[in-house]
A and B are shown apart, each in its own frame.
Chain A
Amino acid sequence: MEFYYPRTVKKTVALLRRPSSLAVAGGTSFIVKPRVEHLVDLTRLELNYIRDKKTEVLIGATTTATNISESQVLGRLASGILRAASSIMADTQLRNVITVGGDIACRYIWANLPPALMVLDARLKIVGSKERVIPIEKFFKSRLQPGEFISEVIVPKKSTKGKGAFIKFSRTKSEYSLITVAVYAERLGKKTSVVRVAVSGNTPPTRIKAIEVGLQGKVITEELLERTTMKAVAQLQLTESYIFSEDYRRELLGTLLKRGLKKVLMGG
């Protein structure tokens, strides 16, 4: 096995294109010895940045959870939903090394940042033999090609002007998330104009379109919120868990979704 420290994106792509190679960002997912021949360090590519552009905020792939949780710029977007999601992830020492790219690319069911990024309509810049930009949702329905890696997360400012909320549930604060809920909404007069909802933990990171459609363009009442949420939750396919019963997790998901939606849509 060998460990590489490329300084350019081009070199990184060339290294990652070889069979049996794997990127290392924070390294926190490597609890067991990786069965690969080449480990490629992504943290020396100067991809640790948060840039406030005119229409977007750009987050470099190796920006840490600590950096995100302390960012003033990100604190201003959608009630600071990214700050919230990154500051209640794992614990202080782990947040100091966990990267946004790693939290997405590990595709773990408990990941906090993917649902929060999904409700902001974030896109991922992927570099490889050529560069492409895809919606974060598409990343979870596809695979990276050999040599490809995530170099940047792009958060469009126009989809962050409304209110957001992020909830994580776990038995202890620093344990892996059992459920995460991310909600984002905009309003036009008395009616909602945009509603986006995403979850992880019980399912891989995913948007819940049934709730979004059910609440979009509506005057929100407690009754509507209850009915729409419970119906959507009943239809969701939950991943198996050997710790908690499905009934319990479904009940909990409904409760947390309603809590998040109420906070954003009814101010409480």
Chain B
Amino acid sequence: MEITCKINNVEKRLVFEPHERLLDVLRREGYDGVKNGCSAGDCGTCTVIVNGRAVKSCLMFAAQAKDEEITTIEGIGTDENPHPLQQTFVETGAIQCGFCTPGMILSAKALLDKNPNPTEDEIKRAIEGNLCRCTGYVKIIEAVKLASMRMGGRRK
């Protein structure tokens, strides 16, 4: 089957089998920042943003993305011009192996886009579906706070 959708602000035509998951189709199309950690909805490495909401692409049929707007990690910054979250994750040491990072950053981005000045509890809630086996989360929360500040969210 075939659908159109917008990926990272570019109109796309995707061709796949009806039973295929969005995760596999995105990776095949070259968006390999979308990671396959568990294939069971547990880990959050496959997180993408669909119409402004963070979702897990391993538990979504690609067909469900018809006419929707998808954002992957490839769409939010470049090496020369990283997204503030990408910058602060690097600066605070919120990345070790890096496998959870795209999903973490997209969950954090979905939060900051809606709520520019989140509390620590709101940050924790936004990333509760993203597991990190390296950092212990403290640096990640710090990175999100710092990005929120730099992006203009006021913080007491």
Contacts and interface: CB of A to CB of B under 8 A. Distances in A.
A4 B61 CA distance: 12
B144 to A, nearest CB: 13
A39 B125 CA distance: 32
Interface SS of chain A? loop
Contact of B61 (A30, A93, A96): A30
B124 to A, nearest CB: 10
A198 to B, nearest CB: 25
A73 to B, nearest CB: 20
B64 interface: yes
B17 interface: yes
Contacts of B64: 24, 27, 41, 43
Interface residues of B, number: 25
Contact of A39 (B18, B66, B129): B18
Interface residues of A, number: 24
A176 to B, nearest CB: 10
Contacts of B61: 3, 24, 27, 30, 39
Nearest to A97: B55
Interface string B38-54: 01110010010000011
Interface of B: 1, 17-19, 39-41, 44, 47, 53-56, 59-61, 63-64, 66, 107, 125-129
6 contacts: A2-B1, A28-B60, A92-B54, A92-B129, A93-B53, A174-B129
